[in-house]
């Protein structure tokens, strides 16, 4: 087995395990909506059930559509990620980490969708309870972090190509 697939299993497996362990704790030790202050006026652990996607997107859509959509899209995304990973060099560690993070995050949230038909969120950032960010979880962080890293890598690669083209044009 190639190293990149070993890294995929290790990274995504770790993220899924961590995500699910914390979600099980929140689900079994908190009441829905219960909040524990961690950093006053900034960060709480709050049990939230998200029936939609990021920021509650599609949460108000028809339940039948929502269930079909959220139960079919993650497997498609996982297959796409595996297809992309197949073309990545074994030595491209940053891209492997990014794709593995997205993969693990997608599985973590998919487990919730299959079990509960919603995703358990609990990380609640706010400023003095006036301005708040929608609650999220470890799987969400893995997905956003992986996508962010991929975007950064693409940006740096494009910048590198632009500099190379400029140098070649100057000669």
Q: Does residue 162 have an active-site annotation?
A: no
Summary mean pLDDT of the chain:
91
Q: Does residue 112 have an active-site annotation?
A: no
Of these residues, 112, 121, 124, 162, which one is catalytic?
121
Residue 82 or residue 53, greater confidence: 82
Of these residues, 19, 112, 124, 140, which one is catalytic?
140
1 pLDDT tier (thresholds 50, 70, 90): low
Residue 37's DSSP bridge partners are 44
Structure pTM? 0.88
Which stretches within 55-121 are classed as H helix? 63-86, 93-116
83-127 pLDDT, tens per residue?
Answer: 999 999 999 999 999 999 999 999 999 999 999 999 999 999 999
- The pLDDT of residue 35 is 96
CB of 60 within 8 A of CB of 52?
A: yes
User: Can you tell me the distance from the alpha carbon of 99 to that of 83, in angstroms, rounded to the nearest whole number?
Assistant: 11
């Amino acid at each position: 087995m190639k190293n990149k697939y070993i890294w995929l299993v290790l990274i995504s497996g770790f993220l899924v395990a961590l995500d699910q362990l914390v979600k099980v704790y929140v689900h079994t030790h908190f009441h829905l909506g219960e909040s524990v202050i961690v950093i006053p006026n900034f960060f709480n652990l709050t049990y939230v059930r998200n029936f939609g996607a990021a920021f509650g997107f599609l949460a108000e859509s028809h339940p039948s559509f929502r269930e079909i959509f959220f139960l079919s899209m993650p497997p498609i995304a996982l297959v796409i990620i595996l297809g992309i990973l197949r073309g990545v060099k074994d030595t491209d560690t940053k891209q492997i980490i990014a794709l593995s993070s997205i993969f693990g995050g997608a599985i973590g949230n998919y487990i919730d969708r299959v079990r509960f038909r919603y995703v358990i969120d609990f990380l609640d950032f706010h400023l003095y309870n006036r301005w708040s960010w929608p609650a999220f979880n470890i799987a969400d962080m893995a997905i956003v972090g992986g996508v962010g890293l991929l975007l950064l890598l693409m940006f740096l690669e494009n910048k590198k190509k632009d500099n190379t083209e400029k140098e070649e044009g100057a000669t």
